[in-house]
Amino acid sequence: MEQVVIFIFGAIVGSFLNVVILRYNTGQSLVKGGSRCFNCGHKLDWLELIPIFSFLFQAGRCRQCRSKISWQYPIVEILTGIIFVLVFSIQLSAFNNFSFYFLLSTVYYLVIFSLLIIIAVYDFRHQIIPDLFVYTFIILSFLSLFQVSNFKFQISSFLAGIAFFVFFAAIWFLTKGKGMGFGDAKLALGLGWFLGLEKGIWALMISFWLGAGVGIFLVFLFKKRYNIKSKIAFGPFMILGLILSFFINNFLFNLI
């Protein structure tokens, strides 16, 4: 029952993340103003704003003009709900009870992954990583270098973040931005600080494998639209690699 409640809460947060992704850098307020259909301007009522279910009940179309609604909405809501459940499960296994540190740590991870979802989807849509969100991620990742229990600073994770940043920044510099964006270097800095060296390497390996696989898939299946020189946002693959590395390693740790 707890997991269901957490999933619903995550889906609601995911609905808000969609608003942030779509309104950021457009001049619209992120918190004010009701949601509207992008095609006809119809102001959505509460029945049209229920995460996941509204999309399903409306068959993915606006009730007013019947224009198609982006699949981004339910995908982000479902993904956020699943990640919230996974974070809650890992935290509960680590703490075994509800305490102040459990709450603080859980909120920390939920904010981190919410930021990553925003960055991934925004980069996928616009092929740019917004400074506001990536810098916030970097700052929060830096805080993870301090171990509250014994007041130690994780120097290896700090150096891992610097190394990952230099690696991606070098690709960006040498290819003059064609091989990799500088935003990817910033994201890699936060990734290294958040995951550390070993998990970070796994995350980057996964991201490169996924990026290469998807790139080959697109070139072969959509030859008219994609070719070997086509630009594909790498941020979403890096974030997917981070998510997989984080949860796989944490669940394996709990099983040992």
Average pLDDT, integer, range 221-238: 77
The predicted-structure confidence for 105-131, as pLDDT tens digits, reads as follows 999 999 999 999 999 999 999 999 999
Evaluate if residue 98 carries a pLDDT over 60. Answer: yes
Domain co-membership, 136 together with 229: yes
Domain co-membership, 248 together with 166: yes
Cα separation of 154 and 193, whole Å?
Answer: 9
Strand partners, 147: 152
Q: Domain range spanning residue 6? A: 1-97
The pTM (predicted TM-score) of the whole model is 0.91
For residue 51, which amino acid is it? P
Cα separation of 15 and 10, whole Å?
Answer: 9
How high is the pLDDT of residue 148? 60
How high is the pLDDT of residue 256? 45
Domain co-membership, 90 together with 143: no
Domain co-membership, 80 together with 138: no
Looking at the structure of the chain, the number of domains it has is: 2
How high is the pLDDT of residue 253? 59
Cα separation of 195 and 14, whole Å?
Answer: 23
Evaluate if residue 102 carries a pLDDT over 90. Answer: no
Average pLDDT, integer, range 248-256: 67
Range with lowest mean pLDDT among 22-26, 87-91, 116-120, 135-139: 22-26
The predicted-structure confidence for 12-67, as pLDDT tens digits, reads as follows 999 999 999 998 988 777 777 667 767 676 677 767 778 888 888 887 887 778 78
Cα separation of 74 and 46, whole Å?
Answer: 16
Domain assignment present for residue 105? The answer is no
How high is the pLDDT of residue 218? 76
Evaluate if residue 229 carries a pLDDT over 70. Answer: no
Helix, strand, coil share of the chain (percent; to 5): 70, 5, 30
Give me the phi and psi of 153, to 5 degrees please: -100, 125
Q: Where are the beta strands (DSSP E) in 37-165?
A: 146-147, 152-153
Q: Which of 255, 256, 254 is CA-nearest to residue 91?
A: 254
26 alpha-carbon distance from chain centroid: 20
Cα separation of 33 and 17, whole Å?
Answer: 15
Domain assignment present for residue 138? The answer is yes
Contact 133, 119 (CB under 8 A): yes
How high is the pLDDT of residue 140? 96
Q: Identify which has the larger pLDDT, 254 or 186.
A: 186
Cα separation of 124 and 21, whole Å?
Answer: 11
Domain co-membership, 149 together with 251: yes
Evaluate if residue 151 carries a pLDDT over 70. Answer: no
Evaluate if residue 157 carries a pLDDT over 50. Answer: yes
Cβ contacts of 147 within 8 Å, gap of 6 or more: 153, 154
Domain co-membership, 77 together with 196: no
Q: The tokens 């740019």 sit on which residue?
A: 128
Domain assignment present for residue 5? The answer is yes
Evaluate if residue 132 carries a pLDDT over 90. Answer: yes
